[in-house]
Structure 1
Amino acid sequence: MESKIFSVSEITDILKDLIEGSFPFLTIEGEISNYRPSSTGHIYFTLKDEKAAIAAVLFKGKAKALSFTPYDGLKVKASGSLSVYGARGSYQIVVEKMEESGSGEILKMLEERKRRLAAEGLFDAEKKRTLPFFPRRVGVVTSPTGAALRDILQITRRRNPKISVIVLPCAVQGAEAAEQIASQIKRANTFSLADVLIVGRGGGSLEDLLPFSEECVVRAVYESAIPVISAVGHEIDWALSDFASDVRAPTPSAAAELAVPLLDGILFQISSAAENLRAVMQNRVQNMKLLVKSFSAENLELRLRTIEQPLLQRFDDAKEDLLFSLQKRVDEAENRIAFARRILEDANPKSILARGYSVVSDAQTGEIIRKAAQTQSGQRLCITLSEGKIGADVIETGNKTGESI
């Protein structure tokens, strides 16, 4: 039996259907090699391991969504579909998304840590502090040999050479980096070394930036009494220290621009403010001069009289009211005294006697005789009149009221 003879196109189509149909979507882990970004925005590279390699392409739209910058030697996980390119007799993976190898686990760990620290209030917006308007000293917690420090120093000198920069050196990646970063932040606070702190480094992989997401660094940033600007990596990079800081800068250079005010701008503002103040003061002085000129001795006296006259009138009215009130009270008191005197005079025994009455008493005992029953025939009585006394003897008595003698 004679075997079937295939054309190149036929066998290629068969392999295309077989490969593309069998692997509609898959994830390949490997190391980037032969990295070739094109002018159109597409990215061409090779994924390889110790034994094999496969071509890969990342088209422009997907490339823009990357959270990192690929480079040769970087280990990644590329997800997409296999595609057979018949014209070259080759196959490749068309990448839909790509992440650094191990970044999925790292991101999961960071998200869990972010939620936990956020629940403690370390990222609360209301606890953020404003940056000082004109810091005398800017502290920089970063690697002393990194490009980030050179950029910060260059921008600071250009914007405002009057401001001092204090470098607090530390490792920015590796096992010891997090402790060194946290220690330098605490040292700056303990000795009040700066008015504002820039904490960060240049760009790098997700693993390279991990020290700035360690809990000790995040807490040191949150607890810092000195305002902190977080400047970790490039604009697309992020670390948990960004959320705990008072201000997050997209790059170390941007952090320097935020921390260091432009000296020329400040001098211009001061000059403008001084000119405005001078103009306001001159205007007020001129107005005061015009106001003073409007016053003469006669006008001042007239103004004084205008103020004084109502006060004097109120004083006179109050005086008259007081005198009237006092006189009224005196009159009322005199009337009460006269009335009391009349009552007393009417109650005086001499006044009663003067009206024709007399007082009869026993001549021997002096007992006042108020009724006939107190007397008896032959009893000696003493009759007291308004003027003088009369002695008398009882001849006859009537014991009953109204009884005639």
Structure 2
Amino acid sequence: MTLQSNQNIFTVSRLNSEVRLLLENEMGVVWLVGEISNFSTPVSGHWYLTLKDSRAQVKCAMFRGNNRRVTFKPQNGNQVLVRARLSLYEPRGDYQLIIESMQPEGDGLLQKQFEELKMRLAGEGLFAQANKMLLPEHPRCVGIVTSKTGAALHDILDVLKRRDPSLSVVIYPTLVQGEEAAIQIAQAIGRANSRQECDVLIVGRGGGSLEDLWCFNNEIVARTIAASQIPIVSAVGHEVDVTIADFVADVRAPTPSAAAELVSQDTSYKHQVVSANLRKLSDAMHRSLLLHKQAFLHLQHRLDKQHPSYKLQVQAQQIDELDLRLKNSMLRQLSDWKAQLQGQHYQLQLHSPSKLLGKQKAHLDSLENKLTRLTDTMLTSNRHKLAIAAEKLDTVSPLATLKRGYSITQTQDGKVVTQSSHVHPGDTIITRLEQGEIYSKVETIKAS
């Protein structure tokens, strides 16, 4: 079986590529809350960080084109909300998040919840224009769901009294802020529907922060508004404030005072109708643009995965990582060289030639003196031994015997003649004296 004949055998690079595509295609865009750590900003302008909580962490990258839109400077320890794509850094096999947007956790988390609920309810059709009711042209009674002590109620009553003093008003008091507000708002709308005493309802309050208006982003309130049999005008906050209630309501008014003008008539009634229709058209266009934008972002995301810029981002991240590793390696190498140089300097000082020469000179002088003493001792001893040996040699030397008048007789082959039987008639013998030699020829042998 070969690699080419079995497609189930992966190389490491192919495996990482397949896993990256699987993560990107299946997971798509995710929202994540976490604490920033290991935040770094290389010269490339990209950001690299780790998001963690008490039990886990994940590596993240935010490329220069996206991090330019961040309105604050991230730091280690910051709690943030990010919108990111799940991906895999193929060279190392590490899974990571590619961050597209980042904001501080507080308002950012509420905004995330707002967007998620908005998308879900829009997908269920709660915002569809076909489900919205028209406001009555000649209402006889107007219901107001708001706080009985808020400024919004006084603004609505002032406008209604000025425009149509004969119009009946029923107030359904409720909390418009806090944890219990959403339940009370929903109950007030349900109470108005059960009584069937009003032709139109105004639901709202004055302006405030995102947390102050949060009860109007509650799913219970949204579904109660959608289920209402009485047309509802949403009048929450100022003109720039937008809540889920605004999308679900039959009509959205920019302010409580504007809501009162919508449900009442005067000489400018036709203009108000036109304005209301324009607002409806604007809301419809906004929703349509939102849906098209979502479709566009989906297609753009698919295109981005095939675009060369993605590979450039991966390569840029790899270059940043290699640059960091190179710097760290150089710093470690320089540190090692410095330590090695200091050690060599110490060894050089410890083994300085001047110190070694002094020690060696003293040692050489000591050896020279010792050699001189040993030489003299050896010469004296050898002279004494030589004299004794010479004396012993002289005692046993044949030359000493020859000096006393004796001689040595030898055959021609050098054997010493000690018996007459050693020679025969006709042999030549050599007699050695102290001085000179005598050659003789044997004629007669006489045995002793």
Q: Same fold (TM over 0.5)?
A: no
Task: Pick the TM interval, shorter chain.
Answer: 0.3 to 0.5
Whose helix proportion is higher, 1 or 2?
2
TM-score w.r.t. structure 1 length? 0.42
